[in-house]
Amino acid sequence: MRKLNGRRFKIAFKKATENLLKHKDEINVLNVFPVPDGDTGSNMVSTMMEGCKQLDELKSDDLPDVLTAIKNGTLMGARGNSGVILSQIFRGMAEWLPKGRKTITPRDFLEMLRNARKVAYSAVIKPIEGTILTVVRMIDEESRDLQFEDFENLMDWILEISEKAVELTPSLLSKLREAGVVDAGAKGLYYIFEGFKEAILGAEEVRLE
């Protein structure tokens, strides 16, 4: 797939939510930072589900409308630190899109994630590495000189870098290292990208129960 339209992005967001929901309990168990309250997975799912609700109410498949609905939904539904940062990531992606653009290329998607990094970092008073922020930073930094012909190869690469970032989190945060876990929010974002890839590969059916 060389270009992504609004309809496919809508399905991708829902598949991302579905995959996150599947792994919600695992992410909750990983949650030790900033406080071990075991709700990162639940908070991220709640944030994404509000985005899905906005998409369900949307009558349009135009890409700008889809991204605006995702932005508004995740901002309204943001729960906890992880949900707030996640909503800022989607806000950054949505706000990058030039007016009237109907499709995006793999390079556009990386530019969206670059803007997502900028917006997410600026939304946090004291950005901390070893969290969900590290994932978007590494994707941005390591993609600067790369070109991708299609979304299949792009998503494979994003998953590879995201996994690398997740595995790095304990070396960046002592609380994670002491607990012997990776960061919950970072792992959640990995699962979001994994679900996104399923839609890129042609998945249509979504179950959010």
What integer pLDDT is reported at residue 208 of this predicted model? 87
What is the 8-class DSSP label of residue 180? T
**pLDDT at residue number 36:** 76
173, part of any domain: yes
SS3 for 39? coil
Q: How far is CA 77 from CA 45, 49, 71, 113, 136, in A?
A: 9, 8, 10, 21, 21
Neighbours of 99 (CB within 10 A): 5
Q: Phi and psi (nearest 5°) for 60?
A: -105, 150
Q: Is the residue at 88 inside a domain?
A: yes
Query: Does residue 179 form part of some domain?
Result: yes
Q: Taking the CB of residue 29, how many other CB atoms lie within 10 A of it?
A: 13
Is the CB of residue 32 less than 8 Å from the CB of residue 181? yes
Q: How many domains does the chain have?
A: 1
- 208 falls within a domain: no
Specify the pLDDT at position 158.
99
CATH of the domain at 52: 1.25.40.340
CA distance 92 to 109: 11
- pTM summary value: 0.96
* Cβ contacts of 69-75, under 8 Å, gap ≥ 24: 70/13, 70/94, 71/95, 74/47, 74/48, 74/50
- Inside any domain, residue 207: no
Which pLDDT value is given to residue 209? 76
In a domain, 194, yes or no: yes
* 26 assigned to some structural domain: yes
> Tell me, what DSSP letter sits at residue 97?
S
Domain extent at residue 179: 4-200
> What residues of the chain score a pLDDT lower than 50?
none
CB atoms within 10 A of CB 124: 14
At residue 195, the pLDDT reads 98
In a domain, 61, yes or no: yes
